[in-house]
Amino acid sequence: MIFLAAVSLVVAFLFAIVFIRSARDHAKRYDASKVQRFHSGDVPRVGGVAILLGLLAGWLMGALSSAYGDKVNALVGVGTAVTWMLVVLPAALGGAWEDMTQRVSVELRFGMTGLSAALACWLMGVSLNRLGLPFVDGWLAAVPWLGLLLAFVAMVGMTHAFNLIDGYNGLAGTVALLISLALAHVALQNGDRQLAAFMICMVGATGGFLFWNYPRGSIFAGDGGAYLWGLVVAIGSITLVQRHEQVSPWFPMLLCIYPVWETLFSIYRKVARGGSPGVADALHFHQLIYRRIVRNVFDEDEARRILSRNNRTSPYLWGFTLMSVAPAVLFWSYTPALVFFCLVFVTSYVSAYLMIVRFKVPRWVRAAPRRAQRRRRIDPNLGTSTLGGRDKAARIEPRPQASREELDQPQSDRQEL
């Protein structure tokens, strides 16, 4: 199974190189007026295509291995692999087309992700048949189409939730990687090697992409990558709960609570302010961390300064993600504990958001490195002093040299230099 992850990683890694070298022209269409833009220069946004190709390569290798003795012990049938491929293609390609043209409407992108979700329900039988709540589970058992509807909404919502958090280098990619690893682990705990293989391929493909995305920022996943992450994670989560009764439905909920709650909170925030939930803004949690917690990086090169500050943002959100992934893996079958940690995450998120908005962040959280605070540079040609990363337009006038006669005079008689 590790072999499949390696295949996916290498393929995604190599195609990312190709796109970095040959796909910069389309990046010029993503102009600086975008409120979601936090980078300098024209960076290719087709990393999602590299992830897709790596993922498909891993799945195809697993199917071929199963057809010829299954030496990787993944139990991936050819028909199952082809079905997964057909399901993910509409959403991934629709997002990639938007990344390359910037002309695909929101409605069409919703339609493409909806098509992928509908194919999953139809071809794979994906259905959310229980929620861990007895009174709701009774309704789902009595009305099967409700489970299909919930699964459809969950898959479409997760694709756009990952797109929402995909704002900084390594953020959404690392979140997807951690969640996929957790799903693969619990699948193996329940003897489901097939599902684990599909998720391990996602880990490998994401790893090959992240090599160039963090901290280099040489390529972005774009909508195509975000949709692919969200869709595969959603299908894997629902399928795991659907196949194994001992897995609590709240296990994937806690795993994905960061992108889910970010989306729900953003909708509430925009509606409460009288805006439209579909209009982009710069008030998401990760954007506030970038603006108000991550200090300016001191470098004369603006592109390097933006890149370094961008890279400092993601680790804060990785910590929030681990707050949910770690307890989810530990208590994947115990619903009360999973519900408790969901509430802990939501409370922590809202408290942190309000602290940032009200400028009440503890000093130790937002403290800049001492070396950066004390850094001082003087340009001998311009006489310009750079302190704290900001150029002070103060010309430093050279002091005149005192003559020997002046030095021999008493202190009170010397002229002030």
CB 201 within 8 Å of CB 8: yes
CB 72 within 8 Å of CB 3: yes
Report how far residue 207's alpha carbon sits from residue 51's, in angstroms, rounded to the nearest whole number.
9
Residue 281 in marked binding region: no
Half-sphere exposure of 408 (CA within 13 A, CB side): 3
From the list 52, 55, 49, the residue with the least C-alpha distance to 18 is: 49
Report how far residue 148's alpha carbon sits from residue 146's, in angstroms, rounded to the nearest whole number.
5
Q: How far is CA 399 from the centre of its chain?
A: 54
Q: How far is CA 70 from the centre of its chain?
A: 33
* 136, two tokens: 């709701």
CB 241 within 8 Å of CB 130: yes
Residue 310 in marked binding region: no
Contacts with 77 (C-beta within 8 Å, 6 or more apart), sequence order: 63, 66, 194
388 conformational bin, left if phi > 0, alpha if psi -120 to 50, beta if neither:
left
- Give the H or E element holding residue 204: helix 193-213
Report how far residue 209's alpha carbon sits from residue 20's, in angstroms, rounded to the nearest whole number.
11
For the CA atoms of 319, 155, 339, 202, what is the dihedral angle to 10 degrees?
Answer: -40
CB 10 within 8 Å of CB 52: no
Report how far residue 318's alpha carbon sits from residue 380's, in angstroms, rounded to the nearest whole number.
42
Binding positions are 163, 223
Binding positions for Mg(2+) are 163, 223
